Amino acid sequence: MPEWWEQPLETLTQTQWEALCDGCGRCCLQKLEDEDSGELYFTRVHCRYLDAQACRCTAYTQRTRLVPDCIELRADDTTAMDWLPATCAYRLRARGQPLPSWHPLRTGDAQSVHEAGISVRGRVISDEHVHPDSYDEHIISWVK
């Protein structure tokens, strides 16, 4: 019998949906899009509401009010998934792909995302300390 996270996203309960998050914090990184090519670039600059150690939003229930361009993911909005890193469970499952072996739902250990080097822990800086015009100076290659 398949695990619940292998089911189509639209069949998940709200609790299951939230549990899909691996806690990497990559979705909270500021992103830049090339206007000509549409290519997306991740920066090491994170939203001020990300707890960079825990890799969790400190204002989760108010995030879309506090940060108007924060994307609230929904199972039926696959275009929003394109802004997520390729390792994201929401993006993977929206494309019918399995969760990676390091995902906490598969390992049973919330630290596995950090131990696998997937999380942003120890590698980012808050947007409170970086002027938006200089985000391009913080483009990273470790997120795809």
Q: Identify the domain containing residue 47 by its residue range.
A: 4-138
State how far the Cα of 81 lies from the Cα of 22, in Å rounded to an integer. 15
DSSP labels for 98-120?
A: PPPTT-HHHHS-TTHHHHTT-S-
Q: Which residues of the chain fall short of a pLDDT of 70?
A: none
∠ CA 97-101-80, rounded to 5°? 40
Number of structural domains (the chain) is 1
pLDDT in the model for residue 140: 96
* 101 found inside a domain: yes
* 74 found inside a domain: yes
The whole-model pTM stands at 0.91
CA distances from 59 to 23, 39, 43, 66, 68 (A): 15, 29, 21, 8, 13
* 69 found inside a domain: yes
* 106 found inside a domain: yes
Query: Which tokens in the block code for residue 20?
Result: 């899909």
Q: Helices in the chain by DSSP H: which ranges?
A: 14-19, 63-66, 78-81, 89-94, 104-107, 112-115
Query: What residues have CB less than 8 Å from 53, skipping those under 6 apart?
Result: 121
pLDDT in the model for residue 80: 79
Contact 46, 30 (CB under 8 A): yes
Q: Which of 93, 143, 87 is closest to 120 using CA atoms?
A: 143
* 143 found inside a domain: no
* 10 found inside a domain: yes
